[in-house]
Structure 1
């Protein structure tokens, strides 16, 4: 029986070019452990729940004290809800801790910049730099 657990944890992802020239995750660090991606099983884009965004809560007056004040006690700037906040690119990967560890299935996501092409059309670069702003969404093992 497969167990699916949901998370919203920040992860550090290192990506490289696949055969088609698209950037795909090759490694990620989650909870202090390095996971090696064995295979990218699928990828897609999904919309997030805009009504749960902090900018929407601020419009309704649901602002915490930390949201209301910035550094030095100055009033914080209100954040605008942008299109990129509403859509994310998700990679479902099979990965393991090291080469000999048992494999699991992980969903890694990052925000999509406004105006970018569909996932299947995103042009990759030759960079294998590590990138931020990734989240681990689901784990199946």
Structure 2
């Protein structure tokens, strides 16, 4: 029986959009390189917008942060599409090419103008992005 652990860790993802879907091919989590063996599933999730700090601030329940946001980025005010919806990839991956495989859920915020299947013209060269999170691990 496998255990499922939940996280909200930022990961550095190398993805390939050759099929137009920006599928992860590698990711770095906690200083280790994981190689994606297979994309098992892909879906979109809506977040609980009513739990966002911007909504609480409007209702006077909490003050929004005025300092830097996560990873030293400037704090944002208000809600964006990326706060409301994210694309999740469930992948089978392993540390390097010979390590035991596990199942990982990687998510990225949906940006305005992104269709359910990305309309970006495909290229065969992998790209990198740091705007991903590791959500769940099953091993």
Give TM-score, length-normalised by structure 2. 0.84
In the alignment, the residues of structure 1 paired with residue 40 and residue 121 of structure 2 have an alpha-carbon distance, to the nearest angstrom, of: 18
Task: Tell me the distance in 2 between the aligned counterparts of 1:68 and 1:85.
Answer: 18
- Larger helix proportion, structure 1 or 2? 1
Are 1:132 and 2:130 matched, yes or no?
yes
Q: Structure 1 runs of 4+ off > 3 angstroms?
A: 121-125
Query: Where does residue 5 of structure 1 map in the other structure?
Result: 5
Deviates more, 1:25-34 or 1:126-135: 126-135
- Flag structure 2 segments of 5+ consecutive residues without an equivalent: 69-73
Q: Distance in 1 between matches of 2:66 and 2:2?
A: 43
TM-score (normalised: structure 1): 0.83
Task: Report 1:1-141 matches (<5 A).
Answer: 1-18=1-18, 20-61=19-60, 62-63=62-63, 67-68=65-66, 79-119=77-117, 121-126=118-123, 127-141=125-139
- Cα displacement (A) at 1:60: 2.8
Q: Over residues 97-134 of structure 1, what are the superposed CA-to-partner deviations in whole Å (9 max), with x where a residue is unaligned?
A: 01110000000000001232113x54353242211210
CA distance in 1, matches of 2:76, 2:115: 29
By how many angstroms is 1:77 displaced? 8.0
8 Å CA contact 1:84, 1:113 repeated in 2:
yes
> 1:73 maps to which residue?
none
CA deviation after TM superposition for structure 1 residue 53, in Å: 1.4
Larger gyration radius, structure 1 or structure 2 = 1
- The Cα of 1:21 is off from its aligned counterpart by 3.9
Per the alignment, do residues 122 and 3 of structure 1 end up closer, same or farther by CA in structure 2, a change over 3 Å counting?
farther
Number of residue pairs matched? 132
